Each structure stands twice: as structure tokens, then as C-alpha cells.
Chains A and B, each alone.
Chain A
Amino acid sequence: MSDPALLATPLLWLTVTLGVFEVFDSLSKRCNRHPLLHPVLWTTPVLIALLLASGTSYETYKAATFPVSFLLGPAVVGLAVPVWRERARIRRLAIPIVLALGAGAVTSIVSAVGVLVLFGAPREILASIAPRATTTPVAMAVAGQLRGVPALAAVIVLFAGVFGAMVATPLLNALGLGDYRARGFALGVAAHGIGTARAFQVDATAGAMASLAMALNAVVTAALLSVVALLV
């Protein structure tokens, strides 16, 4: 630690981030990907503790880990691939997909924002929760666009995903919904990537529907909120 030049390169925090993540990721893998053991849920507080303990500013950390967060953009673009692969299914199920997606996206935005309005939250917090059903990178980008807080959006989305993945099976069973297409699609709209991962564990059709729903919802929710942003 005596050489300041080494600390000035991205190497240190990049290595630490990958290392800590890897530890929790293998733990999560070993526990059959239980939603509560989602690696980000545990990596984040550990890294925050390390930053605080070492007196490192978030600014420094953010700059150092740029190579990792940069990949979010291409990853979002890549969601086009499952959409394209499922095109036959999209054509066949066009009406249920469009209607369920529209209803789900509006429900998600209105209910999340509505509850927070009751709590008297200011605009930047409403803007951070509004895109909560989209996949994290999209939620962060949309929150930033609406002058919300991307970090807050990331954590809300993460929590929503973990919660959605955990309650989906008992909830949808209670509703008597046996169709894996409807179940998977709902999970993808409500709980994005974490829900999708859960859906794949349960059933391959549910998983395909969930990843499709996640990609489509990224576009629909972002578009809806863009319109809202223009009006408000």
C-alpha cells in the first residue's frame, strides 16, 4: 500500500470486486441459487464496508470499476437475441403478450409510485422506483434519465427481484394458475432477471417466457416512463 501509483490504477478495486463477488457467487451456486443468497445482495455491503474501512471515496471506486459496469450497455443490447429467438412464440401469443405486458407494466409503475407518494417521497425517489420492474441496467438508465438516483434504483430492483422470485410459486399456486406460460411471463414482468432465473429452475417454458417478458418489459416500461417524463 506504500506505492500510491498502484492504488491509482483500477487494478485494486477491480480485483477486490471480482474476488468478493466470486466468493458469494460460488456460495449461491452451492445453495442451488436461492434468491436470498443472490451474490449482489452480499457483495454490495461487503464492498461498502471495505470502502469505508479503507477511506476510499465512491468516486474512486466507481472510476476503478468502470470496465465492469461498462458491460451493462452491450448486455442490454444483447437482450435482443432471446426476443429474436422466441419470435415464433411471440407471433403465436401476440395478444396475451401485449395485453399482459401493458397491464403489468402500468400496474408496476402506478402501484410503486402510488405507495411512495403516500409516504411523502420527493420526485427523485419516485423516479428511482418507477422503473423497478425492468432489468437493473435499464432501471438505472431510466432512473438517471428521470433525474432519480441510479444506485437506489439498482437496489430497489434487486430487492424486487429477490422478493418476486421467492413469492411467485406460492402466490401463483394460490391463484390457481397452472399454465407455465402465464406464470413465467408474470415472473419476467414483475421480477426481471432474478425472476427469470427462478422461472428457468421451475420449467423450461416458464423460463423462456420470463426472459422474453424481461426483454420486452425493458422497452415498454422505459417507453412509458419516457412519455410520462415528457408530460410531467
Chain B
Amino acid sequence: MRIAEHVSPCFIPVMLRAIFLLLACQLAGEAIHRITSLPLPGAVIGMVLLVGWLALVPRERPTLTVVTGWLTAHLSIMFVPAAVGLIEEGPVLSRYGVGLVTATVASTLLTLIVTALVFRWAFARFVPEGEA
């Protein structure tokens, strides 16, 4: 494990601080979401808040990198409980399964093509030579 190399006992209080920072941003995001009835999910607002905080208090944050790296690396298992919720969606799947697959395939292909082509065009048009 990559993480294990980084974790020494004196590292743990700093880890807690990184976890606190993530939770605090999420909590603030949820609060903003509820108070302003802004329809963005609280965690997404929290992410924007964290970018703001990192910009406001710029310093090296090795522990935050480790903690978020760990979370991102294990993102897959976190949505297993939600995916299992499909157990209750049998009727929807049998009725709209073909439509869902068609829509997802079409949308994924188109998005790949449009994003890549627009990026290439805008890059050639707007990014000065040598800045790349």
C-alpha cells in the first residue's frame, strides 16, 4: 500500500486535520445548499469552497493529498450500496432498458467527439505558440 509508507504516528493528528477540513467544507456546502435552496448538491458546493480555501491559505498540504488520494482511489466501493438499489428498479429496467442503453451509448460517443474537437479547435485558435 502506498499510503502505509506515509503514515507515521505523528502524522495522525495532521490526518485528522485534513479529514476535518473535508468534512467542514461539506458541512458548509450542505448548509449553504439548505439555506439558499441552491440546487447544487452540498458536496459539490463543498468542493468549490475547498478550492477557495486552498487559494486563500496556500501552503503545502501533503496529508490532504494523501487523504483525498485515498478517498478517490476507493471511490468505486462507495457507490456499491447505491448501485445495489437497482434491486428495486426491475420494472423500469425491463421497460426502458433499451432506451437507457441507446441514450447512454449515443451520449457518451457524442460527448467524446464534441469535447475533443472543440478542445483542439480552441487550443489552435486561442493558445499562443510556446505557451503549450
Contacts and interface: CB of A to CB of B under 8 A. Distances in A.
Given A40-B76, A40-B79, A172-B116, A219 B48 contact: yes
B81 A65 contact: yes
Interface string B86-118: 111100100010111111111111111111111
B35 interface: no
Contacts of A155: 83, 86
Contacts of B83: 40, 44, 151, 154-155, 158
Interface in A93-107: 93, 95-97, 99-101, 103-104, 107
> What's the dominant secondary structure at chain A's contact region?
helix
Nearest to B46: A77
B54 A84 contact: yes
Interface residues of B, number: 76
B-side binding surface: helix, strand, loop or mixed?
helix
A164 B81 contact: no
B72 A154 contact: no
A8 to B, nearest CB: 18
- Residue of A73, A113, A189 most packed against chain B (CB within 10 A): A73
Given A108-B107, A185-B115, A65 B127 contact: no
B67 interface: yes
A163 B113 contact: no
Contacts of B81: 17, 61-62, 65-66, 68-69
Which among B23, B67, B78, B115 has the highest number of chain A CB atoms within 10 Å? B115
Interface in B62-94: 64-65, 67-69, 71-72, 74-89, 92
Interface string A127-150: 001001101111011100100011
B115 to A, nearest CB: 3
Given A62-B81, A69-B78, A80-B54, A111 B106 contact: yes
A107 B96 contact: no
Contacts of B118: 96, 99-100, 103-104
B78 A71 contact: yes
B107 A52 contact: no
Contact of B41 (A65, A182, A222): A222
A177 B103 CA distance: 25
Interface of B: 19, 22-23, 25-26, 29, 38-44, 46-51, 54-55, 61, 64-65, 67-69, 71-72, 74-89, 92, 96, 98-120, 122-123, 126-127, 131-132
Shortest beta-carbon contacts, A-B, top 3: A151-B85, A119-B99, A78-B68
Given A25-B76, A44-B86, A136-B75, 9 more contacts: A65-B81, A76-B41, A77-B43, A104-B115, A116-B99, A129-B103, A149-B92, A167-B112, A189-B115
